[in-house]
Amino acid sequence: MSSRWIASRLIISGFIVFHLTATIVWVLPPCPVKALWMPRFAFYVIPLGLWQSWSMFAPDPVREVIHLESEVIDRRGMRRVYEFPRVSGLPWWRKLPRFRHPKFAANLLLEEFAVQRELTARHVVRQLGIPPEDFPLRVSLYYHVRDLPLPGAEVADPMVRSRLYSLAAFELEDPQEVWP
């Protein structure tokens, strides 16, 4: 066996051990090992797009349906509401490519996407086309939350009322924040 091939194997083996360690640390449930090592592997995993999480309906599927909405109140107290796209009423062929909308709404709940909340508030203002003279604005993001029927129920009760869950609120002083 050539020394070059031995060296190649050693290098590849080192990479395999490193890569698998990083991957396994990343998918571990919360534990001290993960807390210690995850930040160290972040410099390898994140830039290369290798971060992963496979909690597909785990540990439990959500027991509520949520949809995201936003309320904007301008300096005169005028109130505008922006409803984010919903897919639940669409036929399957239109729903299929729009699976990112409910994912986006759910992801905003996660702390790792906290920055995105303010950016979403700015997007709402742009979508509503609020003119600069109406600033400053107060933008609230909130969810309509509706409980799903418990096991044993055969049909969903259409009269179930949804409740509001406040996600975040932002004061936008300067139009340049919104239209960079």
Residues 70-109 that bind other proteins (CB under 8 A): 86-89, 92, 95-105, 107-108
Least Å distance between CB 4 and other proteins? 8
For other proteins, the closer CB: 107 or 166: 107
For other proteins, the closer CB: 59 or 131: 59
* 110 in Cβ contact with 117 (< 8 Å): no
- Picking from 155, 123, 142, 158, the residue whose alpha carbon sits closest to that of residue 67 is 142
For other proteins, the closer CB: 1 or 32: 1
For other proteins, the closer CB: 75 or 98: 98
Q: Does 27 bind other proteins (CB under 8 A)?
A: yes
Least Å distance between CB 70 and other proteins? 13
Phi, psi of 26 (to 5 degrees): -65, -35
48-67: contacts with other proteins (CB under 8 A): 48-63, 65-67
Residue 21 and residue 36: Cα distance in Å, rounded? Answer: 13
Which of 79, 129, 133, 153: binder of other proteins (CB under 8 A)? Answer: 153
> Which residues have a Cβ under 8 Å from the Cβ of 137 and sit 6 or more positions away?
72, 73, 74, 75, 125, 130, 171, 172
Tokens 């990343």, residue located: 26
